[in-house]
């Protein structure tokens, strides 16, 4: 696990660069879920996702060491976060994105001052290209998830949940590369080990599920899940051992279940959440964990979606 003190130091490092996002409730959600539900609203975070937590910690530490150019690989949200933080710190940022990157996310990266390079469709293609660019240009690679400082930054969301939701019994977290859930697991299990942490993954991007079943990291091919932020090809080398050691449960959901969760969030809570951001709620509403009558928190991890895509996805 990531040391709890490292996560607490990250909270201090990123203060002033991120929002302490609110926790919201909805009576309709409570009835649908059969639980008392608290929505950790990372879709209202700066740059529209939780990713700025890890980026602010990692890029901020690099800037203190005199780094002037950072490079990363991202389907969009991490890239926006790195570009935003780099802009705050007046350093250059290059973001390697997939060929089918969301137009909204590409536009946002450029608006934050990041330079875009397109490469492939999976993280297995993007990351080597970003590492190459960093090496050729004297930059520093900022991993999207597989890094202790990134995980520590993401773990600050877990510390906030424990403070904001007294008596929380379970936390539902979306799973992509594993940086968010590894960070939250590290924060929660070293503070409140009794709190269950449930991972939720798209059923067509289930590299973590397959890896847990095999007891080792399993790679999958490209996926077309609507949850574009969770389209990782293989769990992180550093994140997976934490997930394997500490995760209480992992469930998968369909794209239709994600769309239903997005629609419920819009109708019942008036919140605009992207598919990846609604995946954890889809997991709770699926009932697959059997959790009932409990106080639970759900991480809404992002809200970056175009109006056209959003309208098309709602049911």
Closest C-alpha to 155, from 198, 199, 123, 190: 190
* SS3 call for 43: helix
Whole-Å CA distances, 143 to 54, 71, 188, 196:
10, 9, 23, 27
Q: Which amino acids are annotated catalytic?
A: 51, 301
Could you give the residue ranges of the DSSP H alpha helices within the chain? 4-14, 27-33, 51-64, 77-88, 103-111, 123-137, 148-164, 179-189, 207-214, 239-246, 255-269, 275-286, 307-313
CA distance 236 to 246: 15
CA distance 192 to 213: 26
- The upper half-sphere exposure of residue 125, i.e. CA atoms within 13 Å in the direction of its Cβ, equals 15
**77 contact partners, CB below 8 Å, separation of at least 6:** 47, 48, 49, 51, 105, 229, 276, 302, 304
State the pairing for strand pair 36-41/69-73. unpaired
Max Cα–Cα distance, the chain, nearest Å: 55
Are 215 and 188 in contact, with CB atoms under 8 Å apart? no
284: left (phi over 0), alpha (psi -120 to 50) or beta: alpha
């Amino acid at each position: 696990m990531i040391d709890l003190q490292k996560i607490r130091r990250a909270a201090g490092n990123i203060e002033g660069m991120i929002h302490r996002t609110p926790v919201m409730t909805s009576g309709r959600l409570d009835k649908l879920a059969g639980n008392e539900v608290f929505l950790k609203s990372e879709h209202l975070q700066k740059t529209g996702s939780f990713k700025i937590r890890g980026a602010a910690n990692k890029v901020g530490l690099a800037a203190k060491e005199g780094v002037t150019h950072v490079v990363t690989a991202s389907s969009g949200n991490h890239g926006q976060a790195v570009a935003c933080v780099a802009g705050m710190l007046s350093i250059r940022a290059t973001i390697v994105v997939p060929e089918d990157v969301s137009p909204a996310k590409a536009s946002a990266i450029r608006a934050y001052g990041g330079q875009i390079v397109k490469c492939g469709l999976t993280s297995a293609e993007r990351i080597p290209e970003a590492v190459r660019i960093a090496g050729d240009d004297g930059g520093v690679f900022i991993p999207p998830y597989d890094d202790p400082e990134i995980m520590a930054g993401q773990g600050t969301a877990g510390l906030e949940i424990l403070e904001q939701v007294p008596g929380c019994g379970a936390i539902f977290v979306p799973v992509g590369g594993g940086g968010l859930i590894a960070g939250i697991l590290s924060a929660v299990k070293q503070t409140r080990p009794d709190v269950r942490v449930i991972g939720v993954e798209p059923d067509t991007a289930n590299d973590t599920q397959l890896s847990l079943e095999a007891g080792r990291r399993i790679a999958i091919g490209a996926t077309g899940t609507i949850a574009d932020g969770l389209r990782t090809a293989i769990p992180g080398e550093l994140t997976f051992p934490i997930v394997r050691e500490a995760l209480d449960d992992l469930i998968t959901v369909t794209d239709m279940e994600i769309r239903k969760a997005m629609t419920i969030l819009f109708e019942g809570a008036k919140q605009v959440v992207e598919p990846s951001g609604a995946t954890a709620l889809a997991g709770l509403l699926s009932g697959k964990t059997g959790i009932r009558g409990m106080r639970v928190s759900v991480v809404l991890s992002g809200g970056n979606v175009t109006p056209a895509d959003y309208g098309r996805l709602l049911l």
